Amino acid sequence: MHQRWKDGSVEERDHLLRKGLIAETDEEKKRVLNSAGAGCFAKPAEYCPPLTTLLCRAEILAALLNDGTSPTTNAQILKPETVAKMFENSIPQFPDFARQGIPAAKCDQTNPLPELYPQEGQPAQGWGLSFMLTLEAGATGRGKSTAHWAGLPNLFWWCDREKGVAGIIASQVVPFGDANVMGQWAACEKAVYDGLEK
C-alpha cells in the first residue's frame, strides 16, 4: 500500500485493513472493523489465478459477459435471467444518486470528488446488483447499462455486456480518487473501445 501526499510525493504505508490479519487476542479482534466488501490481500497476478478458478474477478466478469456461463469451464454460474436482472436499474427514481460526490472527510483515505463517473450532459445513472450502471454510452466508448465499481486503493472495474468487454485497473495507492490512476482507468477503457473499432 502506498500513500500519495498533496505535494505529489509517494511513500509506503501500512494497509488500512491489516489489523485484521495481525489481531491475536479477543480484545484486539473486537477492535477490528469487518467491512465485508473489503480486506482481500494479494498482488494483482495472485488476485486472479489461472482461469480454472471460478472465484476470480476476471472470471466473474467474463461469466457476466457470457450470460452467466464460465467461458473457460462452461459451468453455468448464474442463470441468464439472473444476469439480466443484475444489470437492470433498481433505482430509476434516483437518477442522480451518485452526484452528491465524495466529501473531503479523511484526506489520507479519499480525495474529494464531485462524482465517481462524470459524464458530459449528466445523463441518468443507475444501480444494479452491487454496482453502478452507466445508463447511457460513456465518453470512453462504453455501451449502455455498463456496470462498474471501485475499491478504496484506486481499484476500478467495468463490465459492458452491450459491447462484450470488461476490464480491471488495480492499484494500491490511497487516497481514493487519485488523478493519476483515474486518468489511466479512462485511458485504458478508451484504448479497449478504440481497439474494438479496428
Query: Model confidence over 170-184: pLDDT tens digits?
Result: 898 999 999 999 999
User: Does the pLDDT value for residue 72 go beyond 70?
Assistant: yes
More confident residue, 37 or 68: 68
- Per-residue pLDDT tens over the stretch 3-45: 999 999 999 998 877 787 788 999 998 888 776 666 666 666 5
The Cα–Cα gap between 74 and 166 comes to 18
Helix, coil or strand: residue 193: helix
Phi, psi (rounded to 5 degrees) for 80: -55, -40
Q: How far is CA 96 from CA 49, 125, 146, 161, in A?
A: 37, 6, 16, 23
Range list of β-strands (E), the chain: 2-4, 10-12, 125-127, 132-134, 146-151, 155-160, 165-169, 173-174
Distance CA 125, CA 176 (A): 21
pLDDT more than 70, % of the chain: 88
**Residue 193: band (very low, low, confident or very high) from pLDDT cuts 50, 70, 90:** very high
DSSP 8-class letter at 192: H
Task: Check residue 39 and give its pLDDT.
Answer: 65
pLDDT for 195 equals 94
Say what the pLDDT of residue 44 is. 60
Span of 19-23, 84-88, 110-114, 124-128 with lowest mean pLDDT: 19-23
User: What is the model's pLDDT at position 177?
Assistant: 92
The pLDDT value recorded for residue 159 is 93
